[in-house]
């Protein structure tokens, strides 16, 4: 028994070590490459730079105006997060607690949205934006992001709320609380893990999405990080050093966010998927 336990522990340690290398290696490679020239990157990407080119970071900061792009991405990420959380939590409360005749069909309709490839809607969404003059508009872009994030968010939040005892609702109703009060004062605090999960997933998507920004944004000052990285791509050559430097600057907010909330993200994903 003891030997079997040690064998499993060793296997898990080896797997964890391999997975850590696979996870950390791309970030380490990106960091080293951000200080190199194109020839050095293509010849020895994993080696220590022979000459540390700080100019790459200068070009990323001022050539591509990466800090403005990071701010734009944060605006898109936060806007998307607020909309998704508000809509998904209210909708999930109805799907979890109410027994109206339209609840189950509407819930299934939302779930079908999980099977719809996001980018199949590029052409109709771009035509809508041009038709109602919402090109270069962050509000429209945030609504587009939110629409595609809501199916998964509602699925996770509804599954989590189904696991919460209905006795809490009954006790609050006896005390005179209405639906909004029950949701804001009871369900939201209880559902903090799944709310954090939805918030992180929504922020990352809104922060890093590229395809819709290429279609719907034309003003350079409004470009998010994903679009600003295309600044260094020319007709004949791509300046890889500044691109890697810009990537390092861009991923810092997401790394900080995940470090702060990774435990709640993991627990929320498991609870929302398994308990539902």
Domains assigned to the chain: 56-274 (1.10.3720.10)
The answer to whether the CB of 144 falls within 8 A of the CB of 125 is: yes
Give CA–CA dist 114/235, Å, rounded.
37
Supply the pLDDT for residue 274: 46
Cα-Cα-Cα-Cα dihedral of 151, 73, 241, 33, to 10°?
Answer: -50
Instruction: Convert the pLDDT of each residue in 157-166 to its tens digit.
Output: 988 888 887 7
Q: Name residues of the chain where pLDDT drops below 50.
A: 1, 272-276
pTM of this prediction exceeds 0.85 = no
Supply the pLDDT for residue 276: 44
Supply the pLDDT for residue 11: 79
- Token pair belonging to 70: 């990071």
Give CA–CA dist 141/136, Å, rounded.
8
Cα-Cα-Cα-Cα dihedral of 73, 79, 80, 85, to 10°?
Answer: 140
- Token pair belonging to 110: 């939302």
């Amino acid at each position: 028994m003891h030997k079997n336990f040690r064998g499993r522990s060793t296997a898990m340690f080896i797997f964890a070590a391999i997975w850590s290398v696979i996870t950390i290696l791309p970030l380490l490679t990106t960091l080293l490459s951000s200080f190199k020239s194109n020839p050095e990157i293509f010849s020895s990407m994993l080696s220590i730079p022979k000459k540390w080119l700080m100019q790459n970071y200068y070009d990323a900061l001022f050539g591509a105006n990466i800090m403005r792009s990071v701010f734009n991405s944060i605006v898109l990420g936060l806007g998307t997060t607020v909309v998704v959380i508000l809509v998904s939590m209210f909708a999930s409360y109805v799907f979890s607690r109410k027994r109206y005749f339209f609840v189950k069909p509407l819930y299934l309709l939302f779930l079908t949205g999980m099977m719809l490839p996001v980018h199949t809607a590029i052409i109709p969404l771009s035509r809508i934006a041009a038709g109602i003059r919402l090109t270069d508009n962050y509000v429209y872009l945030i609504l587009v992001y939110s629409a595609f994030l809501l199916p998964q968010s509602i699925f996770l939040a509804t599954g989590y709320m189904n696991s919460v005892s209905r006795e809490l609702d009954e006790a609050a109703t006896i005390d005179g609380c209405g639906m909004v009060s029950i949701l804001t004062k009871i369900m939201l605090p209880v559902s903090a893990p799944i709310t954090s999960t939805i918030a992180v997933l929504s922020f990352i998507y809104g922060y890093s999405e590229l395809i819709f920004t290429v279609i719907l944004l034309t003003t350079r000052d409004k470009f998010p990080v994903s679009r600003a990285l295309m600044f260094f791509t020319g007709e004949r050559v791509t300046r890889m050093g500044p691109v890697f430097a810009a990537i390092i600057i861009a991923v810092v907010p997401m790394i900080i966010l995940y470090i702060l909330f990774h435990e709640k993200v993991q627990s929320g994903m498991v609870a929302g998927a398994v308990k539902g």
